[in-house]
Structure formats: structure tokens, C-alpha cells
Structure 1
Amino acid sequence: MRIDVKRFKVVNSEGNVTMFLTRNALRNCFSLARQVNQLRASISIGPQQHHGTFYELRTYQIKPEHNTAFLELVNEKIHLRTAHSELLGFWTVEYGGYNQVFHIWKYDSYAHKAAVRAAVASDPQWMEQCISKVLPMLTSQDLEAAYLIPWCKIEKPPKKGVYELVTFQMKPGGPAVWGKAFQAAVSAHAKTGYSHLVGAFHSEFGPLNRVHVLWWYESPDHRAAVRHTAHQDARVVAAVRESVSYLESQRNKLLFPTSFSPLQ
């Protein structure tokens, strides 16, 4: 027996037939529903990372009496470490965390990171000449793994200067919730020429829903003047006002690049 149904009934909650659909029309309805679901999924997860490259953001707290010795030793021995993986930048913290250093390392994947870690641990020169001497100088080490936000790429500054690291603790939900407003706020500063955006990073491991934005300025006074001007710009004010509704807290640090930092 073969059943050839050419029309399908659409019945409401009371059991009444409201319309008939042909087989093609029903197929089109299902196709539309799938497209809507895909769109909802895309909106819910937001922009995605399309490659494995990630960055380690490291903050070391140094014992005050060892601050100078730490920097001298790392300056002398850092080449042993950069032989294994790429250092993006290394800074001392001037304000927002005294006796601290902040550095960023780049990795192609987590497998790459694991291989580098194994290689570094088995490097006798690095372990004996630097690590064994550095560790007693520290009181803490903080480490985060982060991706560049998909709409951002690393932009090296035009010349030597100072950096501001602004850390935003966003409301849970990820870029799908706050991404558009956050991008508008960052762009309002960068595209108007007030600030030079070096990179924006979204945490993957460590405190979640955290975004770090790294800015460059010619000097601390340049940064102060730019901030004063930007806060009188209606475009910046409007974008920031929208973004802060998704913000739980924020803090910043003024960073000075070390002599051996690739980012100057």
C-alpha cells in the first residue's frame, strides 16, 4: 500500500483546522525554521575564535627589596627563554600595582604551549641561571590564558612610549551579551585617534568574563590629556554609557616597557 499525502492540515490548540499546506510549503517552513535556529545560535554564542593562537598574560609580584635585582637578572637571561617561544611584551607596573611586572607570551596552540613548557623545564641554562634565582624573589605569580577578541589584531605602536592596561570584569554571558557595545566603546577611542589600541584580550582560563585592553600613549601626560579631551567628546560618552551597563568592575595599570620588551 502506498500513501501519497499532498496536503497537510494545520490544527490549532482547539482542534480546528486553520489551513492546509502543500508538501513543498511544509518543506519551506522547516527550512525557514532551521535558518532561524541557526541565527539564534549564532547570536547566542557571539563571534568565535577561528584559530588556535592564544596569549598568556602573566603578572608577577616581586619582593620590594629584590625589584632591581629581578629586573637586572631577567634582562640578562631573557634570551634563554625567548629561544623557546615568542614574547610579545614585558613591562614594569608604575601605577596600579607597585613592584609588579606584566608580560605577554604568544602560543600557536595548547599543544605548542605544552611542548614549550617541557622544553623550558629541561633547559639547564634557563633553570639554573635564571629560574632558580628568580623564584625566591617573588611573592606571587598570576597567569591567564586569553584570546584576541575576534574583531581585534595586535597593532604595534609607532614609537616608544607607555602603556595602559585596562581590565574589565563583564557581566556573565560572553560577547553575545556585551560584545557589540564593548566594541563600540573601544572603537570610539581608537578610531577617533584619541588612543592607539595595541590589543584586546578575552579570558579563556583564569577569571572568566574578563577583558583586557592594552593601549599605547607617547607619555603619561599624553594619556592624561587624551583622556580629558575624549571625555568631552559626545561620541565617546555615548558609546561608553552604553557599554557600562554590561560592566561589573574595572581597573587599570600604567605600564613602562623594559629595555628588552619587543613592544616599546
Structure 2
Amino acid sequence: PGLRILLAVVGHALPPKDPDIFVPLIKLKFLKLTSSDNRPREDSWLKSLFVRKVDPRKDAHSNLLAKKETSSLYKLQFHNVKPECLEAYNKICQEVLPRIHEDKHYPCTLVGTWNTWYGEQDQAVHLWRYEGGYPALTEVMNKLRENQEFSEFRKARSNMLLSRKNQLLLEFSFWNEPIPRSGPNIYELRSYQLRVSPGIGVHHVPSARAIRFRQDGNEAVGGFFSQIGQLYMVHHLWAYKDLQTREDIRNAAWHKHGWEELVYYTVPLIQEMESRIMIPQKTSPLQ
């Protein structure tokens, strides 16, 4: 028996050596297999790809992964704006959103507000934090219904939008809480749609180990996973001085022992991913 070449493609065909925890990587496996001695090895390797042991889960993903010392809930908003209305949209957001952020009667804070630079064009992204979880979210919603200024803001905003969507998120326990930072910076929001598979959940993603590779330059801003909206979603938020700094930092990760192996074995968990490069608005706490 001669040399048998097995091509294993895992994940989607995304750029190789993308130095992020969730970057799918196409690998070529050249296995020297014989008809007798190596048959168990072949079977074992194939089973590791396609057969997973399903362990009973004793708690919800949110309880396994979320921070225990805080009950903060996050809301991530995506607003697709009519191109001719983007400037006016930004203006009213800069006038109204900071007032809600600064009002102590609302148990919420504006973490950051951006316009997408690379990715979906004419898009605004807002990230809110609700101190107190779902009760705080409900309290803010009820108070905003009685806020005349916000009602007028929503009415004006509705004429400027093509579409909008949001997600409710919890924060990974091993990420730092997003705090205001000075600029200028660019921000990258990397969003990952995980595969839905029996026995596989957000808690199987080895993010805690991987994040240690990317904390050297304080570029990690926050890590979140979805609770309501599009499910099995993970979001990582990063800050960089500029695009070249981003490139240098991401390339440097490949020189750290264990990074390539970690990326490779994370690949089968990912179904789809998206990267947005964003510019903070003038009133964003994250600059």
C-alpha cells in the first residue's frame, strides 16, 4: 500500500492564517496510511472530525460563561441608514443618546457608538449596557415611552433608516468589561455564527485560553454571546490605533506557541463570520 493523501476541509474557505481565535483555516492533511497498521488511526481521526460525544449539560450557557459578579445585559444595535441621511442621522444620535447615557434615572450606559467604515456601508452600530439585567432593560424601555424628546427622536430616525436589528448579549466572564478609552482608535467588531450541533455550544469555544494571546497591547475591548435575537452568535470587539497596527498585532499572534493549534481546532465550531471596521462617533465613550 502506498501513500494516501486525504484533504480535510473544515469550516468555510476563509483567508488562511487569519490570527483570530475564530478564524477558519483550511488544512491539508497528508496521512501515510497502510491497509492494516494504520486503519485504526484513520478511523479514529475521521471520527474526531464527524462524531462528537454529547455530554449532558448541567446548566445554561449563560450561567456557564457569564460573569457572576455582575448582572449587566448588553444590547447591540445595527442601523442601516439611507445614504443621503447618514449625516443627519449621526447628528440627532449625538444630540439625544448622550442625554440618556448621562441621566441617572436610566439604569443604562452607552458603551460605544460607531459608523461602519469597512463592512456594510452607511451603517451605525450602538452598544448599550443595562446595569441590573432584564429588569433594568424593562425599566429603561418604559421610561423612554414617556420621554417626549426620545419619541420625537425615534420618529425622525424612522424616516432615515432602511432597516434595523438588535441582539441582547451577555459578556464572557474572562473578558474585561468595556470601559471608556481615549482615542483616536479604529474598532473592529468580529461576529461569529457558531454551528448548531448536538452537544456543541458557546461554552465549547476555547476563548478563555485564546484571549491570553491577544491581551498584550490592550486591544481587547469586550467579548459577548447572544441571548436574544440571532442565537449562537459570538462578538469580539477590538481597538487599534490604525489598520497597520491591527495587521502587526494579528500577525504577531502566529509567533506565539500554541496559537496555530488553537485556531485550527476551533475551526469546526464556526459556520460563518463577519468583520466590521468602525469609526467612533464624536460622542462615543469609546474613542
> TM class by shorter-chain length?
0.7 to 0.9
Residue 253 of structure 1 aligns to which amino acid in structure 2? R
1:171 to 195, 212, 225: 195
Whether contact under 8 Å (1:194, 1:230) holds in the other structure is no
In 2, Cα distance between equivalents of 1:77 and 1:96? 26
Spell out structure 1 runs of 4+ moving beyond 4 A.
39-46
Distance 1:151 1:163, change over 3 A: same
Pair 1:114-2:141 in alignment = no
Pair 1:76-2:95 in alignment = yes
In 1, Cα distance between equivalents of 2:257 and 2:119? 28
In 1, Cα distance between equivalents of 2:250 and 2:180? 18
In 2, Cα distance between equivalents of 1:187 and 1:170? 21
SS of 2:150's equivalent in the other structure is helix
Residue 205 of structure 1 aligns to which amino acid in structure 2? I
Give the TM-score taking structure 2 as reference length. Answer: 0.70
Whether contact under 8 Å (1:93, 1:254) holds in the other structure is yes
Whether contact under 8 Å (1:62, 1:140) holds in the other structure is yes
SS of 2:231's equivalent in the other structure is coil
Residue 125 of structure 1 aligns to which amino acid in structure 2? E
Distance 1:48 1:254, change over 3 A: closer
Give the TM-score taking structure 1 as reference length. Answer: 0.76
Structure of greater Rg = 1
In 2, Cα distance between equivalents of 1:52 and 1:152? 15
Distance 1:158 1:262, change over 3 A: closer
In 2, Cα distance between equivalents of 1:91 and 1:197? 17
Pair 1:94-2:117 in alignment = yes
Residue 150 of structure 1 aligns to which amino acid in structure 2? S
- Aligned twin of 1:47: 64
Deviation at 1:218, TM superposition (A): 1.1
Whether contact under 8 Å (1:61, 1:139) holds in the other structure is yes
In 2, Cα distance between equivalents of 1:259 and 1:68? 12
1:111-260 equivalent positions in 2, closer than 5 A: 111-128=135-152, 130-156=153-179, 159-160=182-183, 161-172=185-196, 173-176=200-203, 178-179=204-205, 181-190=206-215, 193=216, 196-260=219-283
Structure with greater helix share of residues: 1
- Aligned twin of 2:51: none
SS of 1:87's equivalent in the other structure is strand
Count residues in correspondence.
Answer: 221
Residue 151 of structure 2 aligns to which amino acid in structure 1? M
In 2, Cα distance between equivalents of 1:237 and 1:43? 31
Q: Which moved more, 1:140-149 or 1:43-52?
A: 43-52
Deviation at 1:81, TM superposition (A): 2.9
In 2, Cα distance between equivalents of 1:204 and 1:170? 13
Deviation at 1:43, TM superposition (A): 8.4
**Unmatched segments (≥5 aa) in structure 2:** 1-54
Q: Which moved more, 1:39-48 or 1:84-93?
A: 39-48
Distance 1:57 1:91, change over 3 A: same
**Unmatched segments (≥5 aa) in structure 1:** 1-38
Instruction: State the percentage of identical aligned residues.
Output: 23
SS of 1:47's equivalent in the other structure is helix
Distance 1:104 1:44, change over 3 A: closer
